[in-house]
């Protein structure tokens, strides 16, 4: 069964609570920033490009 992504913007699963984002595209990117995922939220949204970083829950 395929899991449905309910987010309008790109979501990326990560294994760390600290992530960096630069927009990913050299021409349309943004300054590299570092984001912290709050353990209560389990996700963080980049204020520049709206990419959503979600902590990968194993188990």
Q: Where are the domains of the chain?
A: 11-55
Q: Where residue 22 falls among pLDDT bands split at 50, 70, 90?
A: very high
Write down the pLDDT at residue 54.
Answer: 96
For residues 46 and 54, give the distance between their C-alpha atoms in angstroms, rounded to a whole number: 11
Q: Which CATH superfamily is domain 11-55 in?
A: q5lls5 like domains (2.60.260.40)
For residues 34 and 31, give the distance between their C-alpha atoms in angstroms, rounded to a whole number: 10
Q: What is the mean pLDDT of residues 15-33?
A: 91
For residues 56 and 17, give the distance between their C-alpha atoms in angstroms, rounded to a whole number: 10
Q: Where residue 6 falls among pLDDT bands split at 50, 70, 90?
A: low
Write down the pLDDT at residue 9.
Answer: 79
Tokens 């349309």, residue located? 28
């Amino acid at each position: 069964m395929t899991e449905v992504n309910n987010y309008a913007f790109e979501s990326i699963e990560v294994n760390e609570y600290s992530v960096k984002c630069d927009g990913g595209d050299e021409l349309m990117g943004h300054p590299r920033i570092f984001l912290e995922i709050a353990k209560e939220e389990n996700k963080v949204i980049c204020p520049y490009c709206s990419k959503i970083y979600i902590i990968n829950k194993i188990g």
